């Protein structure tokens, strides 16, 4: 798959990383997740994001996960690999490794330094770009990074770092930042995907987002939303958004417990375990989630793709 | 109004503080807001919360606001006054002032110290309690305070500080904390209200929250939700929640711009101004909001109470 | 005293705020502190800094303190008043109050907003400047504010806000920032004072700092250091710095307990109390401090000015 | 070298990690550093601490560094390896790797979670302890971790996790915490080393610290201080501390630039480079440092061990 392969439009689910009872990566489940994504027709998948618990991995975990996902994707969809690291040389090294394993792109967020320095952030992306030949997704997610990237910096990255192929915009309020980005990108422009579990999905698509790069456990819904937006059918888009919003809201709460439980209920992962020190779902929350799913998707077989 | 007056069940809107074009408190608008709240039948109002921009006030602003609101409430509903401060003696002094101005209760959040110390937080509440005779609402909102109050500490406050009359629980995920609180409060129990713009409203009421203490600009909706929950009509509750959730989500974004614009559209405040350095709504967001309101409340006269 | 009175060169001690056993401001001790400062020949004093526990004050405390200090100074030295506040209108209001009480200047630090915004910080200083006629000391102390002010912003403030009369530079490493400031201030330049308890005193003076604006409890030492630097006597400066550095290091530890204990030992304040939730000195630390003072100033009567 | 080998008393320098001009680990310099440490008689060395830029390493860097250092130490001194990671399974995996490479102990700091949870921190140490057979140094350094470990938690770790062999205490004010630890450790007690560049060295030894575990670039000074303390010669200790304090203060400023420059001046590392995005020393600071060294160690050949 060549560098152009990842178009960064549509839906790129952030994959969870399944773990077994011994807290080790469960590659069988991971393959199943990828196959499901191919089946429902997503435009690509992203591994090793925040929601993939990338921060709880050693490098060999990372490598094994990329390998499995690339193999399972069989070249049918591009695989984006998160390669953020607190050091520039290490970010580059992980990105080279991802490329070698067959990733079609890397996703990188800046990291917090004692004194924030936009020039250093620019240099980091530039250095990584010089080390690989696949595109870079610039992730702007201050809630996890504690780094604020002003529009000026993002525009500079797009204009001066050729391999930047996409911005993943997750700085709230996302609407204003999307509009500012679209106004700011003049000499060169890249698609902007949004995340945050699709919490602001309707509003972000209305503002011109190219799609979703997030972990909502029913990507079929996101696909339908992007389709509706593409057809200019805002009534349909709003209807879909409203119908699933209680679930979107419930799922995007801090922690990964709810999302992993849904993946389990969908038959895609064998265990709902969140890697320590993360917390796995508790019985009361599990029960509340089951009730919610019953309200939103009454009588549906969750293990099958949902048609909308 | 005696100390028992505030029952802390139902809906206690957090009032915005209206400002004029010179960034000064607009008392006329404030009166209008209070009268509207009395008219629609809320159980009380809270002034000088985070959403009331309390942190941008000098003490004389605070005093003037409490005075105006107490007068406008005419004893028909209790007035809760936010009196959080970074010093214990000052929290007590502001609380005494609030009581003298006729507040029925005070709402206090802990504040971040260089080294967190639960004992000091306990002492603060105890000291304030010894200084006043009205109840205290303990606000647990780490997103604004950066202070985490474990369930143990909250239970100790309820059990050992008699004047603690309510917990306002806004630590996500709220569901788990609500359940832990209800299980923890054994020898003495107080009602727990929730906030966060009602983002988790359905789920929190399902878990046993006594109502809302938040700034959502259509408190009629919250009243209807609490009513439905009280009747055990969870279908109705879910329907209301789902219908208004896009607006709840849009409104709870960081910043107060959207909320103040809705108050303005409802004819309750003369200007949508957020006090500097806060940001007032921009045209694009204003337009998006108008579209959203049209979708959710088509053809409605927003200046009238919404019947549900 | 006119606006020019404060020259911002030399030593401007940050005064502690003495409290009595009931946690109320002890104005008698405060007067004694001011008289002592006049006696030893400092160039001015600053009240209501971080070390003055300004964040634990209600507005009437602040006003009373400024009044007392201005009266006690009897026009012999300028009085700078800290007027930082989380809202712009309130910062201006406190600054006007300080000016009315006779302060010669105000000291203002920016405050942290959810999304940092240099333009808003600039506007805040500009607005305050338009509200008063006395100079502004811009405090750059990220350790307490969590706000980073790049050199560009500081230079812009100096160049575009005429009333900015001084920068108090406390962002570590201070040396590099001092040098960058001196290189940056081209069209207009103001003196730069340093703080941090004089921890980097030798190095900062060597880099060109105009003096100290800090709370070290032996300002006589700082005066002697500034004198030595002014005479180009770097050997003398280094000797003074080295001799007192163990005490400087001990005193600048987090919390105010040590500093207040020294003030008490010097007979300047009646109680060493730190306002709640701050911590007053414990017996072991008190004993260690006594031993240290004995090593550095053997046999000296601490209640008298130290001659160096 | 068996598990008992590391006694955790005396001086355990935290080693810098030398990088070449291409930002890659310079193993030759690293060997030289270790040989120097053996020569001057330290009790052990620690690699991959904060000062070793561990956070800017991929796992293969870490492994290579431990291997080189263990080889260079030739069993003459124990090697402690930092193995902190944001995930528990990964902390264990890195610790197993360190043990396999011949490390005599591991040093682990807790890491910040969205909601702090002492039980999870305890479990992390317990899990690592169950995975290895060498001792654990518990690092308490909130300035880098943003995690506060109360004395209760530290004591519980000592009492319930047998392999905890040492606490590295760097939470300011260190004095009070040391005293509280010594009072708290009842049923089982371990040595407590201190860090922070020896900033509070005199005071910490006076309180009972067992020595230093820090990166000050003249460990000969720290050895002499520990020796003096061991002999109860507090006058000598104070003299040493005072004499070198200006350098200690200068060196412990944020960033590693100064320390690496001193190592270079001492002939131990070929380049003073700090890995990107860290900042290497600038000419003005380099000049100021040279002047300082000349004042404190006039005419000395820095490449030779300093005799004191």
pLDDT digits (tens, 9 = 90+) for B109-133: 999 998 889 999 999 999 999 999 9
C89–B276: do the CB atoms touch at under 8 Å?
Answer: yes
B176–A254: do the CB atoms touch at under 8 Å?
Answer: no
Rounded Cα gap, residues A308 and A305, in angstroms: 10
Chain B contact present for D148, CB below 8 A: yes
Percentage of residues in chain B having pLDDT higher than 70: 98
In chain B, whose CA is at the least distance from the CA of D115? B148
Mean pLDDT, chain C, rounded, equals 96
Chain D contact present for B148, CB below 8 A: yes
Of residues C3 and B303, more confidently modeled: B303
Which residues share a beta bridge with C82? C107
Does the structure show a pLDDT above 50 at B1? no
Looking at chain D from residue 95 to 134, which residues have their Cβ under 8 Å from any Cβ of chain B?
A: 115-116
pLDDT band for position B107 (50/70/90)?
A: very high
Residue D147, Cβ density class (10 Å: 0-12 exposed, 13-18 middle, ≥19 buried):
middle
Rounded Cα gap, residues B199 and B176, in angstroms: 15
In chain B, whose CA is at the least distance from the CA of A174? B253
pLDDT digits (tens, 9 = 90+) for D127-157: 999 999 999 999 999 999 999 999 999 999 9
What's the pLDDT score for residue C2? 42
Does the structure show a pLDDT above 90 at D28? yes
For residue C191, give both structure tokens.
């003196």
Which residues share a beta bridge with A108? A138
CA distance D35 to chain B (A): 40
CA distance A181 to chain B (A): 14
B254–A173: do the CB atoms touch at under 8 Å?
Answer: yes
Nearest by CB: A58 against D94, D115, D127: D94
Averaged over C282-306, what is the pLDDT? 97
Chain A contact present for D63, CB below 8 A: no
Nearest by CB: D277 against A53, A56, A124: A124
In chain B, whose CA is at the least distance from the CA of A256? B173
What's the pLDDT score for residue D5? 53
Does the structure show a pLDDT above 80 at C5? no
In chain B, whose CA is at the least distance from the CA of C25? B89
Of the candidates D100, D89, D33, the residue with the CA atom closest to the CA atom of residue D62: D100
What's the pLDDT score for residue C57? 97
Which positions in chain A touch C171 (Cβ < 8 Å)?
A: 115
pLDDT digits (tens, 9 = 90+) for C61-73: 999 999 999 999 9
CA distance C176 to chain A (A): 13
pLDDT digits (tens, 9 = 90+) for D252-301: 999 999 999 999 999 999 999 999 999 999 999 999 999 999 999 999 99
DSSP D19: B
| Contact (Cβ atoms closer than 8 angstroms) between residue A276 and residue A53 | no
- Residue A254 contacts by C-beta under 8 Å, 6 or more apart in sequence? B172, B173, D114, D115
Rounded Cα gap, residues D283 and D294, in angstroms: 17
Which positions in chain C touch D254 (Cβ < 8 Å)?
A: 172-173
Q: How many CB pairs under 8 A join A and D?
A: 85
What's the pLDDT score for residue B80? 98
What's the pLDDT score for residue C1? 38
Which positions in chain A touch D131 (Cβ < 8 Å)?
A: none
Q: Of all helices (H) and strands (E), which one includes residue A46?
A: strand A45-47
Rounded Cα gap, residues D106 and A73, in angstroms: 39
CA trace torsion D7, D8, D13, D19 (10° rounding): 80
Rounded Cα gap, residues A202 and A225, in angstroms: 8
Which positions in chain D touch C253 (Cβ < 8 Å)?
A: 172-173, 175, 200
Chain B contact present for A244, CB below 8 A: no
Nearest by CB: C242 against D176, D246, D253: D246
- Residue B249 contacts by C-beta under 8 Å, 6 or more apart in sequence? A199, A200, A245, A249, B199
Q: Give the burial string for A245-264 (b: 16+ CB within 10 Å, else e).
A: bbbbbbbbbebbbbbbbbbb
CA distance C34 to chain B (A): 24
pLDDT digits (tens, 9 = 90+) for A136-183: 999 999 999 999 999 999 999 999 999 999 999 999 999 999 999 999
Task: Name the neighbours of D, counting chains with at least 3 Cβ pairs within 8 A.
Answer: A, B, C
Q: Is B8 left (phi over 0), alpha (psi -120 to 50) or beta?
A: left
Report how far apart, in Å, the C-alpha atoms of A168 and of each of A16, A109, B306, D31, D293 are: 18, 9, 38, 43, 49
What's the pLDDT score for residue B4? 41
What's the pLDDT score for residue A116? 84
Which positions in chain B touch C86 (Cβ < 8 Å)?
A: 55-56
For residue A109, give both structure tokens.
């967020």
HSE-CB at A201 with a 13 A cutoff on CA atoms is: 37
Rounded Cα gap, residues D296 and C162, in angstroms: 43
Which positions in chain D touch B176 (Cβ < 8 Å)?
A: none
Does the structure show a pLDDT above 60 at A261? yes
Q: Give the burial string for C244-275 (b: 16+ CB within 10 Å, else e).
A: bbbbbbbbbbebbbbbbbbbbbbebbbbbbbb
DSSP secondary structure letters along C43-95 = S-EEESSGGGTGGG--HHHHHHHHHHHHHHHTTSS-EEEE---SSHHHHHHHH
Report how far apart, in Å, the C-alpha atoms of D11 and of each of C103, D30, D272 are: 52, 18, 23
Long-range contacts of A37-42 (CB under 8 A, 24+ apart): A37/A13, A37/A77, A37/A219, A38/A72, A38/A73, A38/A74, A38/A76, A38/A77, A39/A305, A40/A219, A40/A220, A40/A223, A40/A305, A41/A223, A42/A10, A42/A11, A42/A12, A42/A13, A42/A77, A42/A219, A42/A223
In chain A, whose CA is at the least distance from the CA of B176? A285
Chain A contact present for B282, CB below 8 A: yes
pLDDT digits (tens, 9 = 90+) for B5-31: 569 999 999 999 999 999 999 999 999
CA trace torsion D178, D184, D188, D190 (10° rounding): -10
In chain D, whose CA is at the least distance from the CA of C252? D173
In chain B, whose CA is at the least distance from the CA of A180? B284
Averaged over A85-94, what is the pLDDT? 97
Which positions in chain D touch A254 (Cβ < 8 Å)?
A: 114-115
CA distance C280 to chain A (A): 30
If one counts every other C-beta atom within 10 angstroms of the C-beta of residue C242, the result is 17
Percentage of residues in chain A having pLDDT higher than 70: 98
What's the pLDDT score for residue D6? 67
Does the structure show a pLDDT above 70 at D1? no
Sign of CA dihedral C169, C175, C177, C178: positive
Nearest by CB: B176 against A172, A200, A282: A282
CA distance B126 to chain D (A): 23
C87–B276: do the CB atoms touch at under 8 Å?
Answer: yes
Does the structure show a pLDDT above 70 at D2? no
Averaged over B225-231, what is the pLDDT? 98
Rounded Cα gap, residues A211 and A204, in angstroms: 9
Which positions in chain A touch D127 (Cβ < 8 Å)?
A: 276
**Helix (H), strand (E) counts: chain D:** 12, 8
Number of residues assigned to chain A: 308
Chain A contact present for B212, CB below 8 A: no
CA distance B233 to chain C (A): 39
Mean pLDDT, chain B, rounded, equals 96
In chain A, whose CA is at the least distance from the CA of C117? A150
Cis? peptide before D252, omega within 30° of 0: no
Would you kindly state where each structural domain of chain B is located, as residue ranges? 10-254
Task: Name the neighbours of A, counting chains with at least 3 Cβ pairs within 8 A.
Answer: B, C, D
pLDDT digits (tens, 9 = 90+) for D207-236: 999 999 999 999 999 999 999 999 999 999
pLDDT band for position D4 (50/70/90)?
A: very low
If one counts every other C-beta atom within 10 angstroms of the C-beta of residue D287, the result is 11
Of the candidates B160, B116, B166, B173, the residue with the CA atom closest to the CA atom of residue B139: B166
Task: Name the neighbours of B, counting chains with at least 3 Cβ pairs within 8 A.
Answer: A, C, D
Radius of gyration of chain B (CA): 18
pLDDT digits (tens, 9 = 90+) for C88-144: 999 999 999 999 999 999 999 999 998 889 999 999 999 999 999 999 999 999 999
In chain A, whose CA is at the least distance from the CA of D87? A56
Of the candidates B63, B12, B69, B6, the residue with the CA atom closest to the CA atom of residue B215: B12
What's the pLDDT score for residue A5? 53
Which positions in chain C touch D179 (Cβ < 8 Å)?
A: 284
Chain B contact present for A253, CB below 8 A: yes
Does the structure show a pLDDT above 90 at D114? no
D276–A86: do the CB atoms touch at under 8 Å?
Answer: no
Nearest by CB: B295 against A238, A243, A249: A238
Three-class SS state of C213: coil
In chain A, whose CA is at the least distance from the CA of B234? A295
Strands D79-82 and D105-108: parallel
Which residues share a beta bridge with C105? C80
Q: How many CB pairs under 8 A join A and B?
A: 71
Which residues share a beta bridge with A106? A81, A136
Q: Write down the CATH superfamily of domain D10-254.
A: Aldolase class I (3.20.20.70)
- Residue A231 contacts by C-beta under 8 Å, 6 or more apart in sequence? none
pLDDT digits (tens, 9 = 90+) for A202-251: 999 999 999 999 999 999 999 999 999 999 999 999 999 999 999 999 99
Chain B contact present for D233, CB below 8 A: no
């Amino acid at each position: 798959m060549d560098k152009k392969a990842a178009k960064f439009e549509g839906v790129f689910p952030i994959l969870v990383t399944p773990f077994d009872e011994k807290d080790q990566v469960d590659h069988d489940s991971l393959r199943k997740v990828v196959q499901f994504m191919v089946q429902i027709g997503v435009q690509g998948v992203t591994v090793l994001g925040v929601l993939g618990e990338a921060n709880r991995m050693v490098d060999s975990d990372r490598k094994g996960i990329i390998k499995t996902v690339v193999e399972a994707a069989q070249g049918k969809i591009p695989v984006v690999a998160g390669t953020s690291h607190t050091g520039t040389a290490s970010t580059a090294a992980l990105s080279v490794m991802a490329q070698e394993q067959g990733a079609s792109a890397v996703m990188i967020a800046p990291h917090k330094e004692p004194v924030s320095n936009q020039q250093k952030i620019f240099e980091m992306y530039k250095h990584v770009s010089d080390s690989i030949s696949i595109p870079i997704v610039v992730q702007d997610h201050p809630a996890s990074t504690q780094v604020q990237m002003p529009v000026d910096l993002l525009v500079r990255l797009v204009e001066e770092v050729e391999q930047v192929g996409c911005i993943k915009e997750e700085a709230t309020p996302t609407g204003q930042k999307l509009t500012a980005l679209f106004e700011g990108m003049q000499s060169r422009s890249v698609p902007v995907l949004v995340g945050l579990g699709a919490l602001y999905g309707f509003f972000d698509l209305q503002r011109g987002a190219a799609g979703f790069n997030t972990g909502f456990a029913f990507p079929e819904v996101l696909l339908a939303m992007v389709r509706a937006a593409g057809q200019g059918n805002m009534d349909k888009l709003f209807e879909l958004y409203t119908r699933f919003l209680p679930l979107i809201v419930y799922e995007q709460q801090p922690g990964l417990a709810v999302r992993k439980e849904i993946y389990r209920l969908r038959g895609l992962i064998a265990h709902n375990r969140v890697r320590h020190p993360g917390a796995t779902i508790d019985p009361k929350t599990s029960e509340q989630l089951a009730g919610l799913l019953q309200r939103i998707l009454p009588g549906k077989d969750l293990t099958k793709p949902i048609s909308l």
